[in-house]
Amino acid sequence: MHPDTAASLPNSATSQAELLYQAQQRKDRQFQVFVGATWLIILLFLVFLFSGPIKIDRQFVADNLLFVAGGLGETIRISIVSITFATLLALLAALGRLSPIPPVYALSTFYVSLIRGTPLYLQIFFFFLALPQLGIILPGFWAGVIALSLNYGAYMSEIFRAGLSSVGKGQREAAIALGMTPWQTMRRVVLPQALRFAIPPTGNEFIAMTKDSALVAATGFVHELMWRATKVGRAQFHNLEALIMAAIFYWIMTLILTALQSRIESRLSKGDR
C-alpha cells in the first residue's frame, strides 16, 4: 500500500468500523422489533378469535375463574415438594453412578433405567392405585409427589453426574494432598462446585415439573389447576373455556419462572467461577 493512503487509513478505518457496527446494531434492533410485533399480532389474533368467531361463554369464565385459580397454590406446592425430593434422589443416584462399590453402582443404574423405561403417568397411577392392593394407601398428593420425585430424580441424576464430573481431578488431588478425607473432599471441595454447575438446569427441571404436575389430577384427589379446570369444564360442558383458563395460568407461571431462572443464571455466571 502507498505510504500516503496508509497514513490516512487509521481514521477512515475506525469510522468504517463504526459504520459497520452501527449497521449491525440496527439490524439486531430491527430483528427484535419484528419478533415482538409478530408475537403481538398472534396474540391479538387469538383474542379476536375468542371474542368473535369462536363462542366463549364469558359468564362461565367469570363464575369459575377464582375456582380454577385456586388450584395454583396446590400446583406450586406439589412442584416444590417434588423438586426437593427429586434433587436429593438425583444427587444420591449421581453419587451412586460414580461409586466404585458394585451394589451401589447397580442400585443407581437400576433405578434410573426402570424409571426412565416407564411412563410418568403409569408411575403416578402405580403409587395411587396399585399400592393399595398391597395394603399401602397413599393420599393422592403423596402418590403424586413420590411419582414425580422418583421420575424427575432419575432424569436429573444425569445433571448432577455432569456437575460432579465437571469438577476436575486436580481439585480432588489438592484436597487429598491437604489431608482431607474423601468425605471432606466431597463436602468442602467437590459438592459446592458441582451444585453451582447444577443450579441452572435444575431450574429448568422445576419449570417442566410445574406442568407435569398436571398429571396428578388423574388421581382425582389433588385439587390443583388441571383437576379444577377439568372438573368445572366437564360438569357444565365448557371444557374449551376451562382448559384455556388453565393454559393461561400455566403459561404465566412458566413465564415468571423463566424470568427468575435467567436472573439466577446471569448472577451465577457473574460469580467467581
The contact set with other proteins (CB under 8 A) reads: 168, 170-171, 173-181, 184, 188-189, 192-193, 196, 272-273
- Closest CB to other proteins among 90 and 175? 175
As a whole number of Å, the end-to-end CA separation of the chain is: 46
**Choice between 61 and 176, CB closer to other proteins:** 176
Alpha carbons within 13 A on the beta-carbon side of 156: 31
Question: Which grid coordinates are listed for 154?
Answer: 432419575
CB of 179 to other proteins, least distance (A): 4
What are 230's three cell numbers? 377439568
SS3 57: coil
Please report, as a single letter, which amino acid is at residue 168.
G
- Report whether 225 contacts 72 (CB < 8 A): yes
**Between 89 and 175, whose beta carbon lies closer to other proteins?**
175
Q: How far is the CB of 112 from other proteins (least distance, A)?
A: 28
Which of 78, 190 has the CB closer to other proteins? 190
* Alpha helices (H) along 140-238: 140-166, 169-177, 182-184, 191-212, 225-235
Smallest gap, in angstroms, from Cβ of residue 182 to other proteins?
10
Of residues 89 and 189, the one with the C-beta less far from other proteins: 189
Consecutive H or E run containing 116:
helix 102-116
CB nearer to other proteins: pick between 1 and 101: 101
Min dist CB 160 to other proteins, Å, is 17
Closest separation in Å from C-beta 7 to other proteins:
33
CB of 196 to other proteins, least distance (A): 7
CB 226 within 8 A of CB 217: yes
Cα-based angle 189, 258, 264 (whole degrees, multiple of 5): 30
How far lies 146's CA from each of 84, 104, 142, 201, 214, in Å? 11, 21, 6, 21, 14
Interatomic CA distance for residues 84 and 230, integer angstroms: 28
Query: Which of 163/233 has CB closer to other proteins?
Result: 163
> Which three-class secondary structure state does DSSP give residue 117?
coil
Instruction: For the CB of residue 55, give the shortest distance to other proteins in the complex, in Å.
Output: 58
